[in-house]
Structure 1
Amino acid sequence: MGVEFGLLGPVAAWQADGSSLPLGAPRHREVLGRLLVARGRVVPVGVLVADLWEGESPVGAVGAVRTFVAALRRSLEPDRPARQPSRLLITDGPGYALRAGREMVDAWQFEDTAARAAAAPPHTAVALWDEALAYWRGPVLADFPDTAWAGAEQARLETLRLDAVERRADALLATGAARDAVADLRAHVAAHPGREDGWALLATALDRAGRRGEALDTVSRARAALAGASAGRSPGGTGPGGARPGGSSPTGSRPGGVSPGGAGPGGARPGGALARAEARILAAPAGSGSGSGSGSGFGSVNEPAGATDGVWNRAAASWDRSVPARSRARLHATAGLLRDLAVTGPGGLEEAHRHRRDLVAAAETTGDTELAARIIGSYDVPAVWTRADDPEGAGELSRTAARTAARLGPGGPDALRARLLSVVAVESRGDAAADAPLPRAADARSTEPWRRRAERAAEEAVRIARRLGDPALLAFALNGSFMQSFADCGSAAHRDSLGTELTRLGIDHQLPGHEVLGRIIRLQALAGLGGPGDLAEADAEAGEIDRLAHRNERPLAGVFTAWYRALRTCETDGWQAARPQYARVLAVTADCGMPGLTQGAAALVALVPVMRDDVPLDPDEFAHLDAGPYRPWLDPLLLAASGATEQARQALTVVPRPPHDLLQEALWCVLARAAGTVGHLPVLRRAREELLPARTESAGAGSGLVSFGRVTRHLEEVDAILASSAGPADDGVPGRGRVHDRR
């Protein structure tokens, strides 16, 4: 909606053209700040009252809050027609929420840019750290420095800022720009003398700049400053500049040293970073300062990596000088780079997604169909999650690949055609390629042309690859087959077979990425089958995935094994034992670069005890959870549980059928539960029809994320409700018989 918000300084809001929006009195800005800190979650009116007044609230406080909200809505959406609900500052149940995307809030843009910088090579990282730090206009929520509700977020973001300053300096050292780092680091340690990493970086920068005497003097001053900072700490508190006892950091510890802000174990004395910096300075021959490309030695870049970076930088510079601009060689090289970038971790995956569409568009503009086909088909990155991270972009890529395959015609190279068809199959996962509204769950099954086209593409790609005997091409085609193996519920055994073949291909032909993919597919399928022997095999696959991921630098594979282990704990020891494990895995994977996996995952986890153990559903528990893409299928159940029977029935009448993906059995069970509660017979019958082929599996467990229990138990409940209901079969009106009520 063109509005951007600021937390990194005084609370602010700007229009798309950069002009400030008037936010009114301090209380208005405080309400806005409080809602921004909630990060899209609903803040009940009572909580707002308690936070704003921090004591006994005056009479009329609730009315005052509503007045503040109304004024903010007028400021933020001045052109909104009267009586039309706000799309930005919404009323949701007991309170209010601000629906702002991550690109709309400076603090979140800072976090995202910092995450990209942390994963980038040194030269790129310096620019990204500069970009991240440029979002800061002053202290966090500067106009509310002493409010209790802001304290935690102020401390967290300030710690991230200090960490960013140090990581930028570390990246500068890795590029050889030690002199450029010195001035900023001097100011940094002067303002935050308790930051040991800052002192160690400054000493290293001075030494690299050829100023060894100053470097050793800095080490001595650092010890005195850190000892003073430690003495000034209260037990269990934080040190100057947000330093934490034990050197903890919200971004994790750094290889080879303490975390940013650390002052050694327990905060009692300086830790190892300063000692290592001093040892390196003393060990180096006199006059050897001003080294380049090796980082600080305790930051994100170590010595071997620094040497590699030097080779990379020289080779990249030679490439730039030698290869003409706008040449085909540049397109091909970029395609290979993006393919490799996608498997390096969250930051690399996001960057690869961002640039891939531009690369494909550039290839199409050449007018060379075969060149475009090679560029499009080169992105054979193993894909395991069946909901696209960017459905719109995935649908566009699928259509581009299909269009290019048609232009190649029957006389085009078979291998290129198979690659394009594999792209169609992979990118058409779920409903990404839908070119019409999805059928309603209440209606009878119908043929969906876009799904059939994707299925045929997968089948033909596999046929061509088998005929050509190309193992890498076959692995890519089988990846497409996996994405199109969800036409019906109950496909776990078939997916286990696909995963087994992919694993064998990967082992026999040294395709480590596809071997990991095959094992993850098997892990999910075995969890879905759910027998004791199946789960034992899945455990073994999880261990092998972790081993391969470590050896082949595939960090994202660990996301899936972490989720599986939480699911496994739930199956073995129950929900209460698994609950803290799920909390940890949700936190760890929130920024894994796969929004198609993580968006709405918390709501699915919260449904586990409801669906698996029949714990009564409490709608208030879900009020602060973002159901993400699963909202249409969860809403009827939430409405039914809150007593809004007619609204639930209406929602069931119009809800689309669940996507054909790893969670389709789980979502059909959710719809069946809602339909049984309010007596919506058409959806109940349709759910039964869809779930019957999966009756021996565990609902949702095939995702490797959550399990809603055995499908057969859900079917028994459906059958009991249908047997006790005597009404028309197709109008959704329950008869006079007993209807199962789970409210």
Structure 2
Amino acid sequence: MQVTFGVLGAVTAWDEAGDALPLRGPKHRAVLARLVVARRRVVPVARLVADLWDEPPDNAVGTVRTFVGGLRRALEPDRPPRTPPRLLVTEGPGYALRAAAEEVDAWRFERAVSTPGDAPPSRVVPLLTEALDWWRGPAFADFGDAHWLRAERSRLTELRLHAVERRAEAQLASGAAGQAVPELDAHVAEHPWREDAWRLLALALYRSGRQADALSVLRRARGMLGEHLGVDPGPRLRRLEEDVLRQAAHLDPDAGGTADRVWERATAAYDVAVPSRAGARLESAAGLMRDLAVTGGGGLEAARRHRAAAVTAAEQLGDPELTARVIGVYDVPAVWTRCDDPEQARRLVAAAERTLRHLPPDGHDAARCRLLATIAVESRGILPTDRPATGESARPLRAARQAEEAARRLDDASLLAFALNGTFMQTFHRTGLAARRDAIGAEIVSLAARNGLPRYEVLGHLVRVQSRCALGDLTGAGRHARAADALAARHGLPLVAVFTTWFRALRTALTAPPAAALTAYDRAADRLHGSGMPGLREGLLPLARLSVAVRHGEPLPVGRHTDWGPYEPWVRPLLLAAGDRHREARAALRGLPAPPRDLLSEVLWCLVARAAVTVDDPATMLRAHAQLLPAAGEQAAGSGLLTLGPVTDHLRTLTTALERGGHLGSR
């Protein structure tokens, strides 16, 4: 159980669900507080006794140990008997609280306040706002004026005051002066001796267009400082009063300047102008998520998370037209056929279907088209694996077709590019469709180039990298990879390099010795770390390394612990067979579902075929032969990331094994 500790208010502790732990009486809490003050250092028992009592009882040491025992039971209730505690440990002559920095609110607060001074205001404001919200009252509120607390409480209080003022400074720098005024007004009322707070309040009022109020505050500051401290205002306050009187230009710098300044002022103006629950705000958020998604890494993950939240919020407002716009604006090009978050994709598809049903029957053709394209794109990789798509399972195919027809009818280039993305995602109902995908990629490239849609132009080139690899045209694939890289550099699209680097590793795997191929794949895998694409990352490097071993007749990784991710069911029979565990391999093949219908279908069927030949499983050989036959003229390289060579070679091996056993004519 993870425990967090709170001392910014009454001393308490919470479990990982956020429920308060039973810390019992005030002396138990005092021991805990004293150990927090020690900041992970050991506090001798004698020191604890002296701090807890002015006049210690006769058995004070034993009593402290009782308190410690009670705290341990509260903090680690599931710790087995006679196992050492993790949090409240005994060390040398005393005890220490070994909490991590993020597990104590005061320590987290101190770290937030220590953010570098050159951090952008857009980072500082939310960071300090969250940190200030951790305060539930005065620090260590339930221990009065205990002597062992004075220095720590004073330090934390000063940090809090500094945080309030630094946040206000960041709000002023971002152009959100009006937001800073209420908090600063309360701040100077409670702490009238803080000159910098008066200065910030006056400046915030001036930048909010309230010059008279700014002067009034400066005069009030003069009176309060004289009354409380018997001093005159310092030079900064005096200079500010003079500047306000003459309306000095530097007090309110214009909106020009750096991109950061323009962004801060624009977002601050938006916050003021647009009501917090307005539909326009949700639409804008969804549009921002679309732009954030192509930045890669944490940006892509955040975009997925916030997009789902925006769709949920839009549905809660009960406006299907708004919901359609919020869903449809996220037309982020998608080239990989396995979802990064299948559950979220399922919820988005369900929301799109509900919104289609609730839209008014007349009009809204573009919105319907975007919803249908969303269904097609987000339903990638869910076609039935071992039977034709019919009924409900054919819905993504129908949605893709309807979206494309509507986009062509509306003659809208961006709609058609999005719809073609959905069509591409639904072209995996059988193997051997690389030429069809190549034609889709070519149309996307042409359409996007004519209409200034660089992200879709990149998508078209990446689709053609995949399809040209499958068609055995590495020269053409390389040309499209270079075009994608050039567009990515021009338009700031870092995720493109993930796919083009993996393509170059595939090319190396076809032309270089195994060791060089493995090195190339290892380097390509480095691109996946932090990419925000678990649907691409999981199991891909082991599968690529396996492809090199299979093509070159190298030993397979039998018996090694390898995370094959989602590919494990189709890899396992081959590994069992390679380890002479033929009975287990046959059993695994008997219950094996067909691989997902996606960019790696041919590769996985080839692995299944190889295992079936090794253990002489005619039923699976016939099954694999039927599935691979439509791709007879292609390479098992449709992903553009890894390859098992010509599909014809695998079909020939299957045919030979089936003829040898007299099984080919039994179909």
Q: TM-score range by the shorter chain?
A: 0.5 to 0.7
| Residue 406 of structure 1, CA deviation | 2.5
How far off its partner does 1:552 sit?
0.6
Q: Which residue of 1 aligns with 2:288?
A: 337
Q: 1:614 to 1:17 in 2, by over 3 A?
A: farther
Q: 2: CA distance between counterparts of 1:537 and 1:545? A: 13
**2:639 is the alignment partner of 1:703:** yes
What residue number does 2:313 align with? 362
Q: Which residue of 2 aligns with 1:677?
A: 614
Specify the SS of the correspondent of 1:702: coil
- Alpha-carbon distance in structure 1 between the residues aligned to 2:322 and 2:171: 39
Deviation for aligned residue 1:341: 1.1
Give the drift of 1:494. Answer: 0.8
1:645 aligned residue: 582
Alpha-carbon distance, 1:128 to partner: 9.1
CA–CA distance in structure 2, aligned partners of residues 581 and 603 of structure 1: 13
Partner of 1:122: 120
Conserved in 1, the CA contact under 8 Å of 2:445 and 2:458? yes
The answer to whether the Cα contact below 8 Å between 1:374 and 1:416 also exists between their aligned partners in 2 is: yes
Amino acid corresponding to residue 688 of structure 1 in structure 2? H
Secondary structure in structure 2 of the residue aligned to 1:619: coil
Q: How does 1:18-33 map onto structure 2 within 5 Å?
A: none
Name 2:64's counterpart in structure 1: none
Aligned partners of 1:427, 1:684: CA distance in 2, in Å? 33
**CA–CA separation in structure 2 for the residues paired with 1:324 and 1:428:** 34
Measured at CA, do residues 721 and 341 of structure 1 come closer, stay the same or move farther in structure 2, by a change above 3 Å?
Answer: same
1:611 maps to 550
Of 521, 524, 528, the match for 1:585: 524
Describe the shift of the 1:5–1:656 C-alpha distance in structure 2 as closer, same or farther (beyond 3 A).
Answer: farther
Does residue 714 in structure 1 map to residue 650 in structure 2? yes
Are the aligned partners of 1:471 and 1:509 in contact in 2 as well (CA < 8 Å)?
A: yes
The answer to whether the 8 A contact 1:602-1:626 is kept is no
Partner of 1:724: 660
Q: Are the counterparts in 2 of residues 397 and 427 from structure 1 also a CA contact under 8 Å? A: yes
* 1:344/1:553 contact within 8 Å kept: yes
User: Which sections of structure 2, spanning at least 5 residues, go unmatched?
Assistant: 5-14, 22-75, 81-101, 132-165, 174-249
- Please tell me the residue identity of whatever aligns with 1:616: P
Cα 1:597–1:307, aligned 2, differ >3 Å: closer, same or farther?
same
The superposition leaves residues 350-404 of structure 1 with CA deviations (integer Å, 9 ceiling, x where unpaired) of 1100111111111111111111111111110111111000011112211221221
- In structure 2, C-alpha distance between the alignment counterparts of 1:346 and 1:326, rounded to whole Å: 29
* Aligned mates of 2:446, 2:2 — CA distance in 1: 51
Distance change >3 Å, CA 335–CA 545, structure 1 → 2: same
Task: Tell me which residue corresponds to 1:197.
Answer: none
Alpha-carbon separation, structure 2, partners of 1:583 and 1:131? 42
What is residue 139 of structure 1 aligned with on the other side?
Answer: none
Classify 1:363/1:292 alpha carbon distance in 2 versus 1 (closer, same or farther; 3 Å). same
Measured in 2, the distance between the counterparts of 1:78 and 1:685 equals 56
Q: Which amino acid is the alignment partner of residue 348 of structure 1?
A: G
Q: Does the Cα contact within 8 Å between 1:4 and 1:16 map onto a contact in 2?
A: no
Contact 2:514 2:549 in 1 (8 A): no
Classify 1:375/1:667 alpha carbon distance in 2 versus 1 (closer, same or farther; 3 Å).
same
Give the counterpart letter for 1:684 in structure 2.
M
Name the aligned partner's letter for residue 588 of structure 1.
R
TM-score by length of 2: 0.63
User: 1:430-449 counterparts in 2 under 5 A?
Assistant: 430-431=381-382, 445-449=387-391
- Contact in 1 for aligned 2:290/2:331 (Cα 8 Å): yes
Q: Is the 8 A contact 2:431 2:627 kept in 1?
A: yes
Q: Distance in 2 between matches of 1:604 and 1:5?
A: 40
Structure-2 change in CA distance of 1:315 and 1:386 (3 Å): same
Aligned to 1:415: 366
Paired position in structure 1 for 2:407? 465
Distance 1:395 1:176, change over 3 A: closer
* Cα pair 1:528 1:702 within 8 Å, conserved: yes
TM-score by length of 1: 0.57
Greater shift, 638-647 or 603-612, is seen at 638-647
Give a deviation string over 1:27-49, Cα, whole Å, max 9, x none: xxxxxxxxxxxxxxxxxxxxxxx
Q: Distance in 1 between matches of 2:342 and 2:533?
A: 12
| Alpha-carbon distance change, 374 to 708 in structure 1, aligned in 2, over 3 angstroms | same
Partner of residue 463 from structure 2, selected from 521, 526, 530 = 521
What is the deviation of 1:613?
2.1
| Equivalent residues in 2 for 1:85-234, closer than 5 Å | 122-123=120-121, 125-126=123-124
User: 1:291: Cα distance to partner?
Assistant: 13
For the aligned residue pairs, the C-alpha RMSD in angstroms reads 3.8
The amino acid across from 2:312 in the alignment is: A
1:390 aligns to what?
341
What whole-Å deviation, never above 9, does each CA across 1:318-345 have from its counterpart, x for those lacking one? Answer: 1111111211111111111111111122
Is the CA contact 1:176–1:292 (under 8 Å) kept in the aligned structure 2? Answer: no
8 Å Cα contact 2:658-2:664 kept in structure 1: no
- Cα distance change on mapping 1:627 and 1:128 into 2, 3 Å: farther
List aligned pairs for 1:475-554, cutoff 5 A.
475-530=417-472, 534-554=473-493
Q: Can you give the 5+ residue segments of structure 1 that lack an aligned partner in the other structure?
A: 7-13, 21-74, 80-104, 134-170, 179-289, 294-303, 732-743
Structure 1 residues 473 and 727, CA gap change in structure 2 (3 angstroms): closer
Structure label with greater radius of gyration:
2
Residue 314 of structure 1 corresponds to: 265
The alignment status of 1:666 with 2:610, answered yes or no, reads no
Aligned residues: 462
| Residue of structure 1 equivalent to 2:396 | 454
- Paired with 1:647 and 1:475, the residues of 2 have a C-alpha distance of 47
Q: Where does residue 566 of structure 2 map in the other structure?
A: 629
**Aligned partners of 2:359 and 2:567: how far apart in 1?**
38
Aligned to 1:347: 298
CA distance in 2, matches of 1:367, 1:449: 29
Structure 2 Cα separation of the partners of residues 728 and 529 of structure 1? 27
